[in-house]
Each structure stands twice: as C-alpha cells, then as structure tokens.
C-alpha cells in the first residue's frame, strides 16, 4: 500500500491516475474514500471488487463545485437545494434523480444518484485534478470499520489503489448524513453529524425515516455494518476490568474516554474502535450514549457495530 502525503504533486498524480481508470484512496472530512472516475464503468467495477461489496449497493458521487451538480442530477427539488446551500460543502449526501450518462454500476441500477460536495481541501483538489466527479465509498471492506486516518486503511483495499493520499485524521469521523429526495417526501437514509433537527429547521418540514424492512437502498441500511472484527457489546457502565469506551472518566487501564460531547465523540469513535480491535481482547464494551437527538448518528453506528445476528 502506497501511502503518500497529499502534496500538490501527489494530488496532480492522483488526478492523472484517476483519469487513467485507476483507483485512489482520498481523505474527506468524514472518512477516507476509495475513489474512481464516476464516468468510467470499469473503474467503478474495480471499487466493488476491492471492497468485496455486493453490486446492489450504490456509491456516492463526489463533486467539487456547484457546476458539477448539473452534470450529475436530472432534477433538484427546491427543498433539496435549500439543504445543499446550507450544508455544502460538508458531510451531507443527497439522493436525487440521476442523469442518464451515469453508469449503472455507480447507482446499482437505481434511477437516483447520491451526491456529496466534501469540504476537505484535498478531496476537492483531487476532484478538480481529475476533472470529473468521483464515485467513492468508504475505503474499507464491506461491513468493516471506515478508516479515519490514512494508516487505518486496510492494505487489502489500499493495494487496489495507485496511492493512498494522506490528508491527516478526518475531522468529522462518521460517514455523511444521507437524505433521499428521489421520492415523494424527503427521507433520512443514514443519520450523521448533520442532525435531523438542524436539517428540519432549514427545510421547515419534517424528514421521514427509512425503515429497515424496506428494500435495501444502500450499505448503510444493513443491520450489521461499521464493525470491528472484535465483537462489540453495548452496556450501561464499564467495570474497572473492562476494555472499551466510556463516556465519563476512565476507571480502568483498558478504558478510553471519548467524553460526553457527541461531535468530539464521533470524531474519535472509529479510530478508537480500530485501536481496541488490535488489542486482542475477546470483547469491546461500549457505554450506551444518552438517548438524545445529538447522539442519533453515534447510536446508529454503535447499534450496527454491535449487531451480532445475520449480516443482513
């Protein structure tokens, strides 16, 4: 795996590699992504191969400026535009009716496309250097933890890429909020650090919630997901002997406190699970965060990381 600092030269090389149909791992403010030229069906297929991801899970198309939005979406409902204008660039993905040229590999055959304009300067510069939108899922194998640092990218993924651009730790640390505008009413498909409340305030209306027995709309909808290899169990309080994540002060040597601020907690959750995963313990215990709206995204990821049933 070829990890390189995201210098100007490296970014130009990444752009060339992408235009040539190769894959590049790029930093974004949420998590690292495995990027391919969204206009190149073969390159997009290589992403699915690298991730061992089922072909019926669509990818997010990343754009660097507003002009590119019109190259991707066929129609933009006014309420979607309001949301985008408020939160872009940033950790918000919107699902919109797609233009015909977008390869069906990107959208898994759906007539909608997920679009995001990241705020991370390296992500934006790579998209500009490539000169086209980039399809990029998180740079992890299917069902596993998303990497939030270059050195947390699974070499099995990184080896499929021409390079892994190191842009430092991801500030947000959880995957983007996904809102679907392709149906009659806007629907929250995946909670993220852009909260439901803040979006409802901007939209002036309520967001529907996707229910899990709906047909699969994407990998975020699987019950088990975002999981380290070590089993995760949610508990109300850790004992001094327990290994895992606490909300208040640590009371034992195997404990890491991520504090009680939801955004700060989100920023460090995946890297902490990654580190705990490598301790060789039988089980990682995590204290259940408060059942309040600002913790919705963390609750969602912890629920999925700890789901031990069938992987569907």
List interacting residues with ligand TXA (CB under 6 A). Answer: 28, 30-31, 33, 58-60, 91, 93, 95, 107, 110, 112-114, 116, 136-138, 175-176, 178, 180, 189-190, 217-220
Q: How many CB atoms lie within 10 A of CB 300?
A: 18
Q: How far is the CB of 283 from ligand TXA (least distance, A)?
A: 26
Write the DSSP string, the chain: --EEE--HHHHHHHHHHHHTT-EEEE--SSS-EEEEETT-HHHHHHHHHHHT--TTSPPEEE-SSHHHHHHHBS---HHHHHHHHHH-SSSEEEEEEBPTTS-HHHHTT-SEEEEE----HHHHHHHHHHTS-EE--BSS-TTBPPPSSGGGS-HHHHTTEEEEEE--S-SS-SPPEEEE-SSSS-EEEE--SS-HHHHHHHHTSPPEE--TTSPP-SGGGSSS-SB-SS-EEEES---TT--EEESS---STTEEE--S-HHHHHHHHHHHHHHHHTTT-S-EEEEPPPSSGGGHHHHHHHHHHH--S---
Q: How far is the CB of 57 from ligand TXA (least distance, A)?
A: 7
Residue 29 or 287 with smaller CB distance to Mg ion? 29
Q: Report what 266 binds from ligand TXA, Mg ion, none; CB cut-off 5-8 Å by kind.
A: none
Q: Report what 299 binds from Mg ion, ligand TXA, none; CB cut-off 5-8 Å by kind.
A: none
Residue 187 or 242 with smaller CB distance to ligand TXA? 187
Q: Report what 176 binds from ligand TXA, Mg ion, none; CB cut-off 5-8 Å by kind.
A: ligand TXA
Q: Report what 217 binds from Mg ion, ligand TXA, none; CB cut-off 5-8 Å by kind.
A: ligand TXA
Footprint of Mg ion (CB under 5 A): 138
Residue 31 or 246 with smaller CB distance to Mg ion? 31
Q: How far is the CB of 177 from ligand TXA (least distance, A)?
A: 8
Q: Report what 255 binds from Mg ion, ligand TXA, none; CB cut-off 5-8 Å by kind.
A: none
Residue 119 or 272 with smaller CB distance to ligand TXA? 119
Residue 26 or 284 with smaller CB distance to ligand TXA? 26
Q: How far is the CB of 54 from Mg ion (least distance, A)?
A: 12
* Residue (of 42, 112, 127) closest to 77 by Cα position: 112
Q: How far is the CB of 99 from Mg ion (least distance, A)?
A: 24
Q: How far is the CB of 310 from ligand TXA (least distance, A)?
A: 19
Residue 118 or 244 with smaller CB distance to ligand TXA? 118
- 307 φ/ψ angles, rounded to the nearest 5 degrees: -70, 120
Residue nearest to ligand TXA (CB): 218
């Amino acid at each position: 795996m070829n990890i390189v600092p995201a210098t100007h030269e490296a970014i130009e090389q990444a752009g060339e590699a992408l235009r040539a149909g190769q894959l590049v791992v790029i930093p974004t403010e949420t998590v690292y992504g495995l990027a391919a030229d969204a206009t190149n069906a073969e390159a997009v297929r290589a992403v699915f191969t690298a991730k061992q991801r089922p072909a019926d899970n669509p990818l997010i198309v990343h754009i660097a400026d507003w002009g590119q939005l019109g190259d991707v979406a066929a129609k933009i409902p006014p309420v979607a535009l309001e949301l985008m204008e408020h939160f872009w660039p940033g950790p918000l993905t919107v699902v919109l009716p797609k233009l015909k040229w977008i390869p069906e590999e990107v959208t898994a055959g759906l007539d909608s496309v997920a679009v995001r304009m990241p705020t991370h300067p390296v992500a934006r510069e790579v998209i500009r250097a490539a000169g086209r939108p980039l399809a990029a899922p998180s740079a992890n194998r299917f069902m596993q933890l998303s990497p939030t640092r270059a050195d947390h990218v699974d070499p099995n993924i990184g080896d499929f890429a021409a390079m892994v651009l190191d842009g430092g730790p991801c500030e947000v640390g959880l995957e983007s909020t996904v809102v679907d505008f392709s149906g009659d009413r806007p629907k929250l498909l995946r909670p993220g650090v852009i909260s439901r409340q803040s979006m409802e305030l901007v939209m002036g209306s309520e967001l529907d919630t996707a229910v899990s027995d709906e047909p699969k709309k994407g990998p975020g909808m699987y019950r088990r997901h975002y999981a380290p290899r070590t089993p995760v169990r949610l508990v109300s309080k850790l004992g001094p002997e327990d290994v895992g994540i606490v909300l208040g002060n640590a009371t034992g040597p195997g404990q890491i406190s991520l504090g009680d601020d939801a955004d700060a907690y989100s920023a460090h959750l995946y890297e902490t699970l990654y580190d705990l995963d490598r301790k060789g313990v039988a089980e990682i215990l995590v204290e259940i965060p408060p059942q309040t709206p600002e913790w919705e995204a963390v609750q969602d990821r912890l629920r999925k990381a700890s789901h031990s049933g069938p992987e569907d």
